[in-house]
């Protein structure tokens, strides 16, 4: 069985084009999933869209409108896409309610947190006195700083190591954690680098780095996608079991 994985996208308003990096579907396919590009559109279709998926991958992109976590925008807040924000947050809320596996990457981790009732720091320099370089000047596949994994976390079990070097392309960070989420990795400057669902029966994982740009060079990074697709395959099997019971 090949689970169908919905991957959210960015939008270039000037070119009027939806955009998705090729490494996202590449990583999903390499791990055994079937990628499906999801352009954000009317929120009224979210439930119907989600019904056809077996997993949700929230991709990276611009900043989330602070409105969604009860703040006014500060000058350091970057470009926002209101349609994408509303669509993805609702999509994630429903996916969490259904227990569908979720993998959030960079912005996607922040969307996961906000959808669960958490907040985002609009610029990490507002909270961190001596930050590491989180907007690296190096190839996207290259790991530039270390993160420490929380022992006993799902991510720790997936990667089977206590620390790992990752890439970094962000200026915002997790602030207050959303409901039923826990921290599973931090950087040396205490910036949150991964969060996950506190319920170990639900695969909901967010990472601040970009594993889709690293998976083909680092097997331990690829293990994130393998674990995600395995969870999606189990979710697909459970849906089929429920369908068979109903006929």
171 is catalytic: no
Mean pLDDT for each 10-residue chunk of the chain (247 residues)? 95 92 98 96 86 97 97 95 95 96 98 98 95 97 98 97 97 97 98 95 96 97 98 90 50
Structural domains counted in the chain: 1
User: In this predicted structure, what is the pLDDT of residue 1?
Assistant: 78
CATH number of 194's domain: 3.40.50.880
User: In this predicted structure, what is the pLDDT of residue 3?
Assistant: 97
Closest CA to 24 of 51, 59, 75: 59
Distant-in-sequence, close-in-space partners of 38: CB < 8 Å, separation ≥ 6: 6, 7, 8, 9, 49, 91
Closest CA to 59 of 81, 43, 77: 81
Catalytic residue among 106, 121, 197, 232: 106
The domain in which residue 92 lies consists of: 4-245
106 is catalytic: yes
Buried b (16+ CB within 10 A) or exposed e, 79-105: ebbeebbbbbbbbbbbbbebebbbbbb
Catalytic residue among 170, 193, 210, 232: 210
Catalytic residue among 88, 193, 196, 212: 212
- Per-residue CA distances from 150 to 24, 179, 186, 192, 196 (Å): 26, 19, 8, 11, 11
Region at 180 (left for phi over 0; alpha for psi -120 to 50; beta for the rest): left
Q: Quote the pTM value.
A: 0.95
């Amino acid at each position: 069985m090949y689970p169908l994985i919905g991957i959210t996208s960015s939008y270039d308003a000037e070119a009027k084009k939806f955009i998705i990096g090729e490494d996202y579907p590449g990583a999903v396919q390499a791990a055994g999933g079937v990628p499906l590009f999801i352009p954000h559109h009317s929120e009224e279709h979210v439930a119907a869209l989600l019904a056809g998926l077996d997993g949700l991958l929230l991709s990276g992109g611009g900043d989330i409108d602070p409105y969604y976590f009860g703040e006014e925008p500060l000058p350091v807040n970057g470009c926002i896409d209101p349609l994408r924000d509303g669509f993805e947050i609702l999509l994630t809320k429903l996916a969490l309610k259904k227990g569908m596996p979720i993998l959030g990457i960079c912005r996607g981790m922040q969307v996961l947190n906000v959808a669960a009732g958490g907040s985002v720091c609009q610029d990490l320099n507002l909270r961190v006195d001596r930050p590491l370089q989180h907007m690296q000047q190096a190839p996207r596949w290259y790991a530039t700083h270390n993160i420490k994994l929380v022992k006993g976390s799902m991510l720790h079990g997936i990667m089977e190591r206590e620390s790992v070097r990752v890439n970094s392309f962000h200026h915002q960070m997790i602030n207050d954690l959303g409901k039923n989420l826990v921290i599973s990795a931090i950087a040396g400057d205490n910036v949150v680098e991964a969060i996950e669902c506190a319920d170990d029966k639900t695969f909901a994982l967010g990472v601040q780095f970009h594993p889709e740009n690293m998976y083909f060079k680092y097997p331990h990074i690829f293990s994130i996608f393998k674990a995600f697709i395995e969870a999606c395959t189990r979710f697909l099997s459970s849906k089929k079991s429920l369908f068979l019971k109903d006929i």
